[in-house]
Chain A
Amino acid sequence: MRRSFLGRSWANAVAVVLLVFFAFPVYWMASTAFKQNNDIISKTPVFLPLNATFEHFSTATHAPQFWDMVRNSFVVTVTSVLASLVIATLASFAVARMKFRGRKTFILVIMLAQMAPWEIMVISVYLIVRDNDMLNSLVPLVIFYMMMVLPFTIWTLRGFIAAVPKELEESAMVDGCTRPQAFVKVVFPLLAPGLMSTSLFGFITAWNEFPLVLVLNKATGPGTAQTLPLWLTSFQTTFGDDWGATMAASTLFALPILILFLFLQRKAVGGMTAGAVKG
């Protein structure tokens, strides 16, 4: 397709406007976090934080329980993602490679589970967890986040396993491998990209989850089981007008995901669109 020069420069101009629209809020968050207080509350906004300060980051990281929340978030996220990977690898192998009765039903259930209305079921999850005396604990978070991530993981890994030629496995079995051995030695190494993009998705889901932790882990104070999203909302309330500290806290919370995303840009986009799920 040949495009005129004028057409291209027009497109570029629109692209710049859109770039500002999409990136500005993120830029404004990060730059506010570095600004001196008098620049934050000046009558004319300061667009470049020339005399940068780390004061707000220090306020955020010295806030009570910040490091507990960081630890909790990592524990919950990593555990739930690993658990779902193990369960999903088994299931997706069956779905992608084996013929059995109920296969289609299972796929349908997985697709339905992927749409599960967790946001609407928080009340019953709260009652279930309360009745089992597990409020203010990380265990229910791990369990339910694992479930939130599982359908997507099965669905995506199924695609990746189906893409590995059957012949590779079969020749390994001719060479004397059992079926499980053939899977572990031949298919599993080829699944690395699939495992990566599914765990990235899982990481994002678990790291971001808010409604469930909001009802399950309300208790504050030392040794609490809250995670970063909840901490951030309470931080905002506690620190009220201290926008520098609030934006520093938001930046710290968003940073791992932003870095992961930019780092794995290609894979992330491919994997996410393959599963067509964002949360």
Chain B
Amino acid sequence: MAVQSDPVRVQSPGQVTADASRKAPRPSAGPGLLSKAAPYLLLLPAIAATLALLGWPLLKTLLLSFQNMNKRQLIQHITEWNGFDNYKEQLTSSDFWHTTGRSVAFVLVNVVLIMIGGTLVGLLLNKLGKKMRLVLSVGLILAWAMPFVAQATVFTWLFDSRYGVVNWFLDKLGWHGMATFNWYSTQYSTFFVIILLIVWGSIPFVAFNMYAGLTTIPTELYEAARMDGAGSFKIFSSVIFPSLKPFFLGTTFLEIIWVFKCFTQVFAINNGGPERTTETLPVYAFVEGMGNQHFGVAGAIAMLTILMLAVAMVYYFRIILKQEDEL
């Protein structure tokens, strides 16, 4: 959205409206009423689609969370309201809190690795010569462009217990115990593969944005810092970081939201196993809902997850809106 590097936005919305009011008389504006209605007519399809296609599932999730809806009710089309029972059940269940804690830790680990990795790769792209930069960019794009399901399939193959190249490599390095290690047999090793997969697939986006942002910093700033005898770290903390603060804040929040919502990679690697120990909140809601046919309970988990997301989003949008004002 409003990341520093935005090459498209030439005018901020504020400027656009200011412009419009200055040049008030429009040639052939048509009858007053119609031209007043024009923007709303143009927006109508978009608004209708959003209300129907996004608003409805949201509302449905909310209603569902207050219902006792299991396989029987689903098949017989019965609506049984049960008030806050689903919420009470979840908020007092250790499974829910374990999954929540796991999700939060999962988001933290991923986002920290993605942001640090992406920043470093972006800095490197900026430092490289033209040819090497192009070569590395192609590598990054390959990882970035891979569809999530294909990514997960490839990682399953890389970490295959018998023929996986990772186990062979670790064995060659001298860690012979890993020769036939089954990565999907324990919680931590499964998470290791999932996190590696997500970080691998997410760094390119951050790196490209970071690189684009770096190219907007005037060289004089670096030179001045260098004259003052600043080293690489000092240059980063006193020139780069302050200049790209909006980028860092914006991208971090986007990644938090994306990783928190992430379903495909977590599910495709090992369906939340072994023994449901790698279920994050979206997967937990899915397994409770589709797997165990506890749709009402799943609705409550979904609503609680959406609430947590909303908190992150409010924070993110405040930053974005502030940025818009500053432009």
Contacts and interface: CB of A to CB of B under 8 A. Distances in A.
B57 A99 contact: no
B61 A124 contact: yes
Given A12-B132, A233-B149, A265-B141, A25 B268 contact: no
Given A14-B124, A15-B132, A119-B263, A247 B157 contact: yes
A186 interface: no
A66 interface: no
Nearest to A246: B153
A173 B26 contact: yes
Given A45-B168, A166-B19, A250 B285 contact: no
The range of chain A's interface size is 35 or more
Given A86-B45, A178-B28, 13 more contacts: A25-B155, A26-B154, A32-B157, A87-B45, A99-B21, A106-B43, A115-B309, A159-B8, A163-B8, A194-B8, A243-B160, A269-B141, A273-B6
Contacts of B212: 269, 273
Interface in B142-173: 142-151, 153-158, 160, 162-163, 165, 168
A274 B9 contact: yes
Given A159-B6, A160-B8, A229-B147, A115 B313 contact: yes
Nearest to A119: B263
B295 A123 contact: yes
10 contacts: A1-B219, A19-B139, A25-B158, A91-B45, A100-B40, A111-B320, A117-B306, A122-B290, A229-B147, A265-B137
B154 A29 contact: yes
A187 interface: no
Give the 6 A-B residue pairs with the shortest CB-CB distance, closest first. Answer: A159-B8, A124-B60, A261-B145, A147-B53, A91-B46, A123-B289
Interface stretch (B89-97, B104-112, B183-191, B254-262): B254-262
Interface in A75-103: 86-88, 90-91, 93-100, 103
A57 interface: no
Given A229-B149, A254-B147, A257-B145, A127 B54 contact: no
A56 to B, nearest CB: 13
B238 interface: no
Contacts of A210: 148-149, 263-264, 268
Given A111-B320, A113-B54, A166-B19, A41 B42 contact: no
Given A25-B200, A194-B8, A210-B148, A247 B46 contact: no
A6 interface: no
A25 B139 CA distance: 10
A166 B21 CA distance: 13
A236 interface: yes
Nearest to B138: A262
A69 interface: no
B33 interface: no
Interface string B200-239: 1001110011001000000100110000000000000000
B11 interface: yes
Nearest to A89: B42
Given A25-B155, A120-B261, A127-B295, A174 B39 contact: no
A34 interface: no
Nearest to B222: A1
A100 B39 contact: yes
B17 interface: yes
Interface of A: 1, 3, 7-8, 11-12, 14-15, 18-19, 21-23, 25-26, 28-29, 32, 40-41, 44-45, 86-88, 90-91, 93-100, 103-104, 106-128, 143-144, 146-147, 150-151, 154-156, 159-160, 162-163, 166, 170, 173-174, 178-179, 194, 204, 207-208, 210-211, 215, 229, 232-233, 236, 243, 246-247, 250, 253-254, 257-258, 260-262, 265, 268-279
A32 B154 CA distance: 10
B138 to A, nearest CB: 7
Contacts of A163: 8-11
B142 A23 contact: yes
A15 B6 contact: no
B141 A261 contact: yes
B261 A119 contact: yes
Given A99-B20, A170-B27, A120 B282 contact: yes
B78 to A, nearest CB: 13
Contacts of A154: 46
A11 B128 contact: yes
Interface core residue of A29, A154, A279 (most chain B CB under 10 Å): A29
B31 interface: no
B57 A211 contact: no
A273 B154 contact: no
A111 B215 CA distance: 27
A207 B290 CA distance: 23
B244 interface: no
B45 to A, nearest CB: 4
Contact of A128 (B7, B20, B57): B57
B143 A155 contact: no
Contacts of B54: 113, 116, 147
B286 interface: yes
